[in-house]
Structure 1
């Protein structure tokens, strides 16, 4: 694609923000740093260059009011949204002027501008692909074996072959030496996505697929639909806030800044 054509595409960062969380109740409103967690994520996303704005898509008035309170843009989505993708799609239905939607998790207050810019450029520069995401090298056996760490394997052209909670690819002769290999053998999938608008609307109406239901990974629905996912590589993951200890560590880090 010619650079001038890539630059003509409009893009919007959407942060799905659900109030309730089982492991850390109402975590997006926690404000021991002086700001609610959702504000940290919003402000981090605003640092990305080349996008046309950031909006929070939420299911609850309390989050909507918190975002508006710090000057951010928030929209209410319906209670029937089953996932963050559904919330992003609901925003997309009302924004026919936007070409690319970037889904950033609300509990990642340290999301990097680089991650957002990278996943956006993947779609801008590859017009044949409708969805993109990111991966980062896995260097520890503990993380490789952790089902909470989603793994991705890719073809040489960067397209995802499979996502799994299991260690993939399986190394028959042992994982240890491969963990330090260059280039990296194992990649963690990062939960940031870029979608073209028409594909996002199609994805949101597709039923859950068999592999998706087994692994509890929505991105497998895309592969089972026969659609490619382009995976970019970045050096470091952002840290999500899932538990009280995660949040306590974040608060300590902010207090030392």
Structure 2
């Protein structure tokens, strides 16, 4: 009944080439690469048997091995993190659950992953699960500012009463007819880019073609929805932690400010 965290990382990012090796300064001024901070975050998760970095790039491999990470080399042809996790399966043994902790989310709290794994275990008919975080007004404003500036920022999610995902988008959905105070809860849910899969879901994913919605949005999880597969959304709470992903160069100072505010080295 093992759980393995895979951190997929590629150098040739379209929006931010070399992103995994970009340094982020913490509260005390210490600089650590994005891939190091993502690995550090993974190592704080309880109930995990193994953490590996999956990459196709020698520079990322060398940097990860230098700070003690286990590395699995995967093909350059992997189009996204889910494909990279699938490509790493043979090297992972036979885990119960594979967690995809994407290498651009160093602020992911341990309890997001722990609650995600618990949610998948509690729903044996679900093959894939992913966390969603209800946004406050300040976070929603950041989403809207990114879109108005022509930047792709965070991803939003909508789901039904049974917590099955209806859609994910890089646009801000659903429609809102009002504005919100910074500390007010909003109807927008931030999709946290972490996934928990059963191995069979990863094997099936590799047999399906890339669909039109996945292509348009650039969101790997839409392949499951386009194949009418259930994606379980698991609600998580920030508990005072700020959360943001590193998608663009403009996100570096934003994340460094969050590290400083939260006193994280």
Q: Same fold (TM over 0.5)?
A: yes
Take 1:215 and 1:25, find their aligned partners in 2: how far apart are those partners?
Answer: 19
1:156-171 maps to which residues of 2 (within 5 A)?
A: 156-171=161-176
247-256 or 31-40, larger mean C-alpha shift: 247-256
Pick the aligned partner of 1:211 from 187, 210, 213: 213
Please give the root-mean-square deviation of Cα atoms over the aligned residues, in Å: 2.5
Give the match for residue 58 of structure 1.
Answer: 55
Secondary structure of 2:65's aligned partner: helix
Secondary structure of 1:14's aligned partner: strand
Give the count of matched residue pairs.
Answer: 246
1:133-179 deviation line (CA, Å, top 9, x unaligned): 011113335346435332211111111112223343335xx233699
Deviation at 1:37, TM superposition (A): 2.2
Residue pair 2:131, 2:195 contacting (<8 A) in 1 also: yes
Secondary structure of 1:79's aligned partner: coil
Q: Which runs of 5+ in 2 are unaligned?
A: none
Take 2:233 and 2:91, find their aligned partners in 1: how far apart are those partners?
Answer: 28
Take 2:163 and 2:245, find their aligned partners in 1: how far apart are those partners?
Answer: 25
Take 1:34 and 1:170, find their aligned partners in 2: how far apart are those partners?
Answer: 39
Pick the aligned partner of 1:154 from 142, 155, 159: 159
Give the match for residue 36 of structure 1.
Answer: 33
TM-score, normalization by structure 1: 0.85
Q: Which runs of 5+ in 1 are unaligned?
A: 1-8
Give the match for residue 99 of structure 1.
Answer: 96
Secondary structure of 2:141's aligned partner: helix
Give the match for residue 119 of structure 1.
Answer: 116
Residue pair 1:19, 1:60 contacting (<8 A) in 2 also: yes
Give the match for residue 17 of structure 1.
Answer: 9
Give the match for residue 142 of structure 1.
Answer: 141
Larger strand proportion of the pair:
2
1:49-91 deviation line (CA, Å, top 9, x unaligned): 1111110001111111111111111111111111111110011
